[in-house]
Structures are given as structure tokens and as C-alpha cells.
Amino acid sequence: MLQESIPDIHTTALWYPWLIQPNIFTYIFISSQRRIFMQKNTSIPQSGALIVPMTNDYLFRALLQRNNLVLKGLICALLHIKEADISSVIITNPIRLGDSIDNKTFVLDINVILNRHHIINLEMQVVNLNNWQDRSLSYLARNFDHLKKGEDYKLTHSVIQIGLLDYTLFPDHPEFYSTYQFLNVKNHTLYSDKWRISVLDLSRIDLATEEDRQYQLDYWAALFKAKTWEELQMLAQDNHYFKEASETVYELTQEERIRQQCLAREDYNRTMKGIENDFAALKAGLADANQQLSEKEQQLSEYQQHIQALEAQLAEYQAKENSSDK
């Protein structure tokens, strides 16, 4: 059970400045969240295609940064907890939404402090760069190693790395929502509960379990995979998290600077997706060529064995002929 009760989010930065990185923009961001949240009164379109898909990593970050309630709802679903279990959820690495970005400096991952004691790292990834395992471990280790010299190791926070991937990480073992921890390989004894990696496969909603559906993870995945406002309208009918998410996405995509950054990320992701597809095609072609080569080598080996058998028969026949001549 997640614990600790601390002041409301708009006062947290004042009372607990050590919870978050000493970044003045972070303080401004936290104090402004409540004002933005209270003033919002938006009706989303009834129909039509979304300007930017919700799998867009910039839009994903902007949504969770702009609307704390949506962030809280998503974390509840991912961690299988209730909203009442959350006393505070704070993004510690916010960005200035709308500022120009480049692929080297854009911060993809979202760092969150939950209830003072839990560090969560969230990332949306639509292109398989074949580095997620190493990437997630790097994030996990980086967030865990936060102690200052001389501090007690018991003060380390639990760290949770969560990837929302629009592809299947392990094609031979597909799973909608999977969780990995450090276990003894022989008897499965848990080494520590402070390290955890979870992966939500947005492309395999069909594999959602009863527990996944209980916490509406399948609906969250459907929200991020939505392509039209009609889909968002249906999801938002009876769910205040999805209503907030839909309205916030509409607001964000109406802001010119934010929309342009989202579209820039879409162009980049399309380019990377094309490279990924070309690489997959090349890999498949290479596999086919290797298979054909293997088959040819097998045929050659069989031909050589046949020739050797014929040569042996010929040698035997010639030996008999020479014997009869004598």
C-alpha cells in the first residue's frame, strides 16, 4: 500500500522543497497546475480525426504535465491502486511546453515523485529502436542512485520504470501488461521490491487480463490508440479521467506552438518508423537469403555424398575388373 499523507500539490513545493529537483521552473509548474486545472471548461469536437495521435510522445508528456488528475488516474491504473492511495504526484522534470526542441535535447521520459517515497519514470515509445531493455535499465539505475555521500542506504526510494510501447517487446512472448523484478533464478525469491520495470503493449489490447480490465488498463490503452474524436467521446462518457484527458488534448492541440512541436515529433517518428520498417525488411530479406543459402549448402552436401558414393562404387567396379583381367 502506498503511504504518507502530505499537503495538497499546490503547497508541496513550499513545505517539501527537497522532494523535487531545485529547479525554479518546477516550482512555477506545480503552483500553476491547480489554476489551469480549475479554470478549464472545454468541449471537445464531436467527430473528425485527431490532429495529433495520442501516442505522440510530445503530446503524451504535455498531457500529463498540463493535467495532474490525468497523471494521477494513469498511475492508479498502472500500479493497480486506488485514487485514495495517492496523496501527491509531482513531475520533477517538466519542460517549457511549446519551446523548440531537437532530438538530442528533448527529454522523452517523465520523472514523477509519488507520495514522497516512490520514483516513477514514464515514457511513450512508438518506434522500436531495439534498445528498450538497456534504456529502461539505465533510467532505473539513474533514478535509484539519488543518495548523497554518507547518507544511509535505507533512505533509497523505490523506483518504477514504465514504458508505454506501441510495439511488442518480446514477439515470442506477447503480453499486454508485463512486470519484471529481480528474483532468484532458482526459487524465485524476491531480491528487492525497490526495483521494478513494467511494459504496457498498446498494440496488444486483445491480451488484456481480467486484472488489467479491472483497473481499466485496456481503456487507457484504447485512449492512447484513439484516432478520432468519436472514440474519445465514447471513452469519456462515463470516466472523468478520460473526459479530462480528451479536453486537455484538445486544448493543447489548439495552442499553435505546442501543436507545431507535436507535428515535428510526428515527422520524426514517421522517419524513424520508415527506417525501422526498412531495417525489418532488410533483416527479413537477410534471413530469407541465409535460409536459401542453408538449403543450397544442404543440397550441395547431399550431392557431394552422392558423388562420393558413386566414386566408391566406381572404385569397387574397377577393382573387380582388374582382378578379372589377371
Is 326 a member of any domain? no
Long-range contacts of 305-308 (CB under 8 A, 24+ apart): none
d(CA 259, CA 252): 7
Q: What is the residue-averaged pLDDT of the chain?
A: 84
What average pLDDT does this structure show over 295-317? 86
pLDDT tens digits along 271-286: 877 776 666 677 777 8
Pairing of strands 177-180, 195-201: antiparallel
Q: What is the pLDDT of residue 316?
A: 80
pLDDT tens digits along 31-75: 344 344 434 556 788 899 999 999 999 999 999 999 999 999 999
- Asked if residue 9 lies in contact with residue 20, where contact means CB atoms within 8 angstroms, the answer is no
Is 308 a member of any domain? no
Is 243 a member of any domain? yes
Q: How confident is the model at residue 103 (pLDDT cuts 50, 70, 90)?
A: low
Pairing of strands 110-114, 177-180: unpaired
pLDDT surpassing 90 at residue 15: no
Q: 203 phi and psi, to 5 degrees? A: -90, -5
Boundaries of domain holding 116: 9-279
Is 177 a member of any domain? yes
Is 321 a member of any domain? no
d(CA 210, CA 55): 24
d(CA 217, CA 215): 6
Is 275 a member of any domain? yes
pLDDT surpassing 70 at residue 145: yes
Helices 68-79 and 217-225: angle between axes, nearest 10 degrees: 130
pLDDT surpassing 70 at residue 136: yes
Is 306 a member of any domain? no
Q: What is the pLDDT of residue 187?
A: 96
Instruction: Name the pTM for this structure.
Output: 0.74
Domain count for the chain, please give it.
1
Is 309 a member of any domain? no
Question: SS3 for 90?
Answer: strand
d(CA 272, CA 279): 10
What average pLDDT does this structure show over 78-107? 86
Of the given ranges (88-102, 141-155, 282-296), which has the lowest mean pLDDT? 282-296
Q: How confident is the model at residue 80 (pLDDT cuts 50, 70, 90)?
A: very high
pLDDT surpassing 70 at residue 97: yes
DSSP string covering 133-176, please? HHHHHHHHHHHH--PPTT--GGGPPEEEEEEEESS-S-TTS--S
